[in-house]
Amino acid sequence: MVSIDDVISTVTIHLPTAVNVVIILIAAFIAYRIIRHIIKKAILARARTKTEKSDALILLGLWKYFFTIVLLIGLIFYLGGDFTGFGLWAGLFSAALGWALQKPITGIAGWILVIIKKPFRIGDRILIDSVKGDVIDITLSHIYLKEIGGTINSEETSGRIVMIPNSIMFEKNIINYTLMDEFILDDVGVFITFESDLDMAILICEESARKVTKDFKDKMPTQPYVRTWFSGSGIDIKTRYYIKASERIRISSEITQEIFRRFKQEKDIEIAYPHTEVVLRQKKEKTAKQ
């Protein structure tokens, strides 16, 4: 039969160990925060490009997992006392990990894919399945996106953060808007009537696009240009230009406004729109030959 003295003796023996573990955890957390701050400041100070900043932030994420693993191994040695204890703890831990984390293991494989192949980086605008957004963080389990659209039918930031499991990368297509560079092709369309001055309309569209995008002209792959098609009610004019993905909606809106203002000043250009128009023509009478 266990006496009260035995219970008190057992608690007395294990209490210092528990206190030591708590002290170790607190000290390790403080050391982690200090070291992480120093490393982050040093790395970001040297990063110049978006790619370098992305790699730096991923490296900081690796540091967190490395520190956690080292701390866990240290606690196992501290509690187990030798390699036999470590082996026992490691075996139990591996069994629990394999049972509980079957799906996350696939996510870890997805994270390794991102680190090695770099299909996208932090700061890139991507589309995974039906979710579009700017990558703000890449962790061991999830990709964090600052959502684009979502609550509105547009490509502006919705204000929501979307967490996407890394495992989804083996199941869905990934579209990267900014893998090669930060510019994507966009266009602004307008219909004009068949009676309009087409050459003047093309000139106005090109000049409007060049005016609005003048701050980016040295970085664009090509300068703004125009393509035209026949449609049922007039001529379809598409003004195309390269622009940063993050500036797409703003630039499109400003070009639309500029083209509209210029068209209103021209008497020989009419915007085509759905309506009914009755045209009366007089038949020419044939003149008899004398």
* 24-28, 79-83, 94-98: range with highest mean pLDDT: 24-28
CATH of domain 183-264: 3.30.70.100
Coil/strand/helix, residue 221: coil
Q: Give the pLDDT band of residue 125 (cuts 50, 70, 90).
A: very high
* Identical fold between 119-176 and 183-264: no
CATH of domain 119-176: 2.30.30.60
Q: To which residue do tokens 């957004």 refer?
A: 133
pLDDT digits (tens, 9 = 90+) for 163-187: 999 888 888 889 999 888 889 999 9
pLDDT for 238: 97
d(CA 261, CA 238): 17
Query: Residues with Cβ < 8 Å from 200, sequence gap 6 or more?
Result: 266, 268, 269
pLDDT digits (tens, 9 = 90+) for 69-86: 766 666 666 665 555 555
pLDDT for 13: 43
d(CA 76, CA 86): 6
pLDDT for 14: 47
The pLDDT of residue 188 is above 90: yes
Q: Which amino acid is at 112?
A: I
82 φ/ψ angles, rounded to the nearest 5 degrees: -155, -175
Q: To which residue do tokens 């894919």 refer?
A: 113
- pTM over 0.85? The answer is no
Between 1 and 49, residue with greater pLDDT: 49
Q: What is the CA radius of gyration of the chain?
A: 33
Mean pLDDT, residues 87-91 taken together: 58
Q: Where are the domains of the chain?
A: 11-100, 119-176, 183-264
The pLDDT of residue 203 is above 50: yes
CB 178 within 8 A of CB 219: no
The pLDDT of residue 12 is above 50: no
Between 54 and 252, residue with greater pLDDT: 252
3-state per-residue secondary structure call for 244-290: EHHHHHHHHHHHHHHHHHHHHCCCCCCECCCCCCCCCCCCCCCCCCC
Query: Residues with Cβ < 8 Å from 191, sequence gap 6 or more?
Result: 231, 233, 234, 235, 236, 237, 271, 272, 273
